[in-house]
């Protein structure tokens, strides 16, 4: 990635939307919209001082909504270019309110609220569509209750929880616990505000609120209007403080998730959704279970799957090592249902096909290995570029030239083509680049002759 950013022959246009692709192989005109960041890329040093001071807190899509970011943000820490961007949907200043804190904070003078989108025309000989995939939405499988049971998460959400730069700093905190911790934080803020109001009365009358309130309840202060206000503020404060205390007591028992279940083929190899195998999920579940065990040696994982497809050099050995050294148990069987036990523990109901028995098991967290679905924007892209998709929604290619789309001069690679892991995507990307070099050199030779 860093090499791409520094390469003299590569111009990186991040935060850019392809609007039109016209012409033919060897001579395309591509119109792109470079979206306004409201931050000058060449001035921003990526120091993050602006984001530290920005008062607007927004759910962080990069962390799958498990954490928050500010209205001025960088998509993720190692991103190229390492510039910040203002989110125009949430920024106060860009929505007609007074703010501009980031502009005052930025020492590089990079903030520019007047920046506008730029439409740029590119003249290129060939195009490679490498637009990737989308994670299948498991909420349409009712039996897994993804939306209803907080501790049932997708593999991508689990990866963010495992990541040292993720919302929990790599601790496997359970989403149900995180929700309670967020409630505690919100109530603490409210309690602080209401305590400030009480402090004024306590100072004025030189008396603590609980003692005052008891006397007030006993009718000691009659109809004194000021004291009536104090009593009402104290009542409102207690309406916050009591549930806050109860939540704090609950949070004392919180621990990281140690009993993990992974459910394979969620949306894949399922004729209701995608009949194909997504090819990478067996291996990422094993990887995630191994990493979780490295983080916390008491962690045990059970991987439920029809079979484990460890197809690749060294993959089978990795699977066996996971079982022997990282406390992974492989259970052959399709999970029928997930229910919820007390304490938000998910319970898995499955048929053990080896023993031919229906069983259930309780876990701290369940991870769904979701299918590799076609990218959300792929239909729009095919219209813009005049190319076609196949029956599953990935880019259609020529069986005898598998990286060629249905329009000469436009190629594809990676998960825009179909499900595949990173090494395979990288190998295909090299193949697509070689196809481009091949047709462009043919053009050059024809021009020269
Ligand atoms: C939870 C999980 C864990 C995984 N772990 C591993 C692992 O450990 N090892 C491994 O080998 N594989 C892993 N994979 C698979 C891996 O994610 C894919 O193989 C890889 O991301 C495919 O790369 P890609 O470049 O084809 O697509 P992507 O990574 O999806 O990249 C496509 C890029 O194109 C951008 N884009 C989309 N549309 C447009 C557009 N119209 N204009 C401009 N840009 C656009 C997207 O924003 C994205 O940045 C994992 C997958 C999941 C879901
Ligand atoms: S103007 Fe205010 S709300 Fe907008 S990004 Fe800057 S600090 Fe955040
Ligand atoms: S890779 Fe494994 S989990 Fe993913 S679809 Fe194929 S068999 Fe199922």
pLDDT band with cut points at 50, 70 and 90 for residue 281 = very high
How many angstroms is it from 72 CA to the middle of ligand 2?
6
Whether 345 and 105 have beta carbons less than 8 Å apart is answered as: no
Q: How far apart are CA 84 and CA 93, in angstroms?
A: 16
Q: How high is the pLDDT of residue 109?
A: 97
Nearest alpha carbon to residue 166 among 291, 255, 76: 76
Ligand 1 neighbour 420 (Cβ under 6 A): yes
Asked whether the predicted pLDDT for residue 55 surpasses 90, the reply is yes
For the stretch 109-138, pLDDT in tens is 999 999 999 999 999 999 999 999 999 999
Ligand 2 atom closest to the CA of 56, numbered from 1? 3
Q: How far apart are CA 124 and CA 51, in angstroms?
A: 37
Ligand 3 atom closest to the CA of 265, numbered from 1? 8
Whether 167 and 161 have beta carbons less than 8 Å apart is answered as: yes
Query: DSSP string spanning 316-327?
Result: HHHHHHHHHHS-
How many angstroms is it from 278 CA to the middle of ligand 3?
5
> Which tokens belong to 216?
């007030």
For the stretch 72-93, pLDDT in tens is 999 998 888 889 999 999 999 9
For the stretch 408-429, pLDDT in tens is 999 999 999 999 999 999 999 9
**What are φ and ψ of residue 224, in 5° steps?**
-60, 115
Beta bridge partners of 119: 33
Ligand 1 neighbour 415 (Cβ under 6 A): yes
For the stretch 90-106, pLDDT in tens is 999 999 999 999 999 99
Q: How high is the pLDDT of residue 102?
A: 98
Q: How high is the pLDDT of residue 112?
A: 98
pLDDT band with cut points at 50, 70 and 90 for residue 446 = confident
Whether 227 and 221 have beta carbons less than 8 Å apart is answered as: yes
Q: How far apart are CA 295 and CA 302, in angstroms?
A: 17
Ligand 1 atom closest to the CA of 133, numbered from 1? 30
Average pLDDT over residues 367-392: 96
Asked whether the predicted pLDDT for residue 176 surpasses 90, the reply is yes
Q: How far apart are CA 219 and CA 427, in angstroms?
A: 82
Sequence-distant (≥ 6) Cβ neighbours of residue 108 within 8 angstroms: 43, 44, 45, 47
pLDDT band with cut points at 50, 70 and 90 for residue 303 = very high
Ligand 3 site-directed mutation target among 141, 305, 335, 392, most atoms within 8 Å of CB: 305
């Amino acid at each position: 990635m860093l090499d791409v950013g520094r390469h003299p022959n590569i111009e990186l246009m991040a935060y850019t939307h392809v609007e039109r692709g016209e012409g033919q192989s060897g001579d395309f005109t591509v119109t792109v919209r470079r979206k306004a960041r409201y931050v000058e890329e060449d001035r921003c040093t990526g120091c993050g001082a602006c984001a530290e001071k920005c008062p607007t807190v927004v759910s962080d899509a990069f962390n799958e909504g498990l954490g928050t970011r500010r209205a001025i943000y960088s998509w993720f820490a190692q991103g190229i270019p390492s510039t910040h961007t203002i989110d125009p949907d949430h920024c106060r200043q860009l929505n007609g309110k007074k703010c501009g804190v980031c502009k005052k904070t930025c020492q590089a003078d990079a903030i520019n609220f007047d920046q506008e989108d730029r439409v740029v025309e590119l003249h290129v000989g060939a195009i490679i569509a490498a637009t990737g995939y989308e994670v299948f939405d498991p909420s349409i499988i009712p039996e897994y209750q993804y939306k209803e049971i907080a501790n049932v998460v997708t593999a991508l959400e689990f990866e963010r929880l495992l990541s040292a730069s993720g919302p929990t700093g790599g601790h496997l905190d359970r989403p149900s616990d995180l929700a309670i911790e967020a409630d505690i934080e919100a109530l603490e803020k409210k309690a602080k505000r209401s305590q400030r109001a009480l402090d004024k009365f306590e100072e004025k009358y030189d008396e603590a609120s609980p003692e005052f309130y008891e006397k007030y309840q006993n009718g000691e202060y009659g109809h004194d209007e000021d004291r009536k206000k104090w009593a009402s503020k104290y009542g409102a404060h207690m309406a916050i403080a009591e549930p806050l205390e109860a939540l704090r007591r609950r949070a004392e028992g919180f621990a990281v998730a140690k009993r993990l279940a992974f459910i394979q083929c969620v949306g894949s190899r399922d004729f209701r959704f995608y009949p194909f195998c997504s090819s990478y999920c067996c291996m990422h579940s094993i990887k995630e279970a191994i990493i979780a065990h490295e983080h916390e040696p008491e962690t045990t994982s059970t991987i439920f799957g029809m079979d484990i497809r460890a197809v690749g050099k060294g993959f089978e050995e990795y699977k066996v090592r996971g079982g022997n050294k990282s406390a992974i148990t492989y259970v052959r069987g399709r999970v029928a249902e997930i229910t919820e036990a007390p304490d938000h523990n998910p319970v898995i109901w499955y048929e053990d096909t080896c023993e031919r028995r229906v069983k259930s098991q309780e876990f701290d967290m369940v991870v769904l290995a979701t299918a590799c679905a076609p990218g959300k924007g792929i239909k729009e892209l095919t219209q813009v570029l005049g190319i076609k998709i196949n029956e599953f929604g990935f880019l259609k290619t020529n069986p005898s030239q598998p990286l060629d789309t249905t329009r000469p001069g436009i190629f594809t690679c990676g998960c825009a083509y179909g499900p595949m892991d990173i090494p395979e995507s990288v190998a295909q990307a090299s193949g697509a680049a070689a196809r481009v070099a091949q047709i462009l050199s043919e053009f050059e030779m024809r021009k020269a002759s």
